Amino acid sequence: MQENLGYACIAEVPCVVVNVQRGGPSTGLPTSPAQGDLMQARWGTHGDHPIIALYPTSVQEAFELTMVAFNLAEKYRTPVIFLMDEVIGHMREKVVFPREGQIPVLERRKPPKGLDKFQPFAEDDGLVPAMAAFGEGYRYHVTGLHHDPAGYPTLRPDEINRWFERVFAKIEQNLDDILLYREEDLEDAETVILSCGITARAARAAARQAREQGRKVGTLTLQTIWPFPEKVVRDLGSRVRRILVPELNRGQLIREVQRCVRHPEVAIGGINRLDGGVITPAQILEKLEERSWPGNSH
């Protein structure tokens, strides 16, 4: 899978790849939840490349974000990885379907007909090249080798650099469109629980219970995991005192949080579980009460 994801990155093939994660490594835990593939989604294929990865917390979101995933793949000509937790993959929940015509479908940008010379990988009207389908009259070359704007293999550093700059820029310059996240009770929050997938549901339940006990707890749920919402998390780090990152792995998301937060006085802690079970609201509440956490002197 990873080798061909790399192919999709270099040939700029719009596609959506669903990874319903199970506990690993190897055959691991068939079939119990784990969130162990976050970094694999980012770095699994070899070579530097941008990637988009989405992560739903419910069946409804799985439905909605799948549509978003296809639209992002088409709009930016990139593979989009759809990460799910096993429990969400197997879950039955109520889903509200939109009416026909309410589903946003982004059509791929095509080159105008009748061009003398079609440059399939050129920066023409934007960073994302128009894409002709085979059989429509533009005969061109698609390869997994680095290529020039005409699509032919190249070893020229200037052409390779230009390609890298373009494919990273097409994602990095459109973060407002790509980054999806949900903030809850962050206005006055001193503690934020940052999570994704099934863990976010426990986080939200725990945060509500903590609020009832008078603690200023909010949540940040990431629906776009990659690119990582660096600025959102950095800004959060300048407002809050504590960030708790529960996740079903040994600490993948927390590394990103630690990387982004620039204030050393902000306490960043994790809850980790790898045994096939999920993290419960009670576990999160317990962690919030833990004496060793800063601010828990009472």
Partner 1 sequence: MARKLPLIHRYLRKDKKFPTVWCPGCGIGVVLGSLIRAVHNAGIPKDDVVLVSGIGCTGRMPVYVDFNTLHTTHGRALTFASGVRLANPKLKVITVMGDGDAIAIGGNHFIHACRRNIEITAIVVNNFIYGMTGGQFSPTTPTGDISATSPYGNLAQSVDICELARDCGASYVARSTIYHVNEMEKQIARAVTTSGFSVVEVLSTCYSRYGKLNQKGSPREMFRALKDQTVPIAKADGDERINRGVFIDRAEAAYSDTYQAIMAKAREHDAGEPLPLLKPARTGGTP
Q: Which residues bind partner 1 (CB under 8 A)?
A: 3-4, 7, 92, 133-137, 139-145, 148, 150, 152-153
Secondary structure (3-state) at 69: helix
Q: Extract the tokens encoding 30.
A: 């068939």
Q: How far is the CB of 208 from partner 1 (least distance, A)?
A: 23
Nearer to partner 1, 104 or 153 (CB): 153
Phi, psi of 29 (to 5 degrees): -115, 90
CA 71 to CA 106: how far, in whole Å? Answer: 5
Q: How far is the CB of 281 from partner 1 (least distance, A)?
A: 20
Neighbour tally for 167: CB within 10 Å: 22
8 Å CB contact between 80 and 73: yes
Nearer to partner 1, 147 or 273 (CB): 147
Nearer to partner 1, 24 or 89 (CB): 89
Nearer to partner 1, 155 or 292 (CB): 155
Nearer to partner 1, 4 or 60 (CB): 4
Q: How far is the CB of 156 from partner 1 (least distance, A)?
A: 11
Q: How far is the CB of 116 from partner 1 (least distance, A)?
A: 13
CA 231 to CA 119: how far, in whole Å? Answer: 35
Q: How far is the CB of 75 from partner 1 (least distance, A)?
A: 20
Q: How far is the CB of 145 from partner 1 (least distance, A)?
A: 7
Assign residue 27 a region (left: φ > 0; alpha: ψ between -120 and 50; beta: otherwise): alpha
Residue type, 149: P
8 Å CB contact between 84 and 41: no
8 Å CB contact between 80 and 19: no
Nearer to partner 1, 99 or 298 (CB): 99
CA 248 to CA 272: how far, in whole Å? Answer: 6
CA 102 to CA 234: how far, in whole Å? Answer: 35
Q: Which residues are registered as beta bridge partners of 184?
A: 219
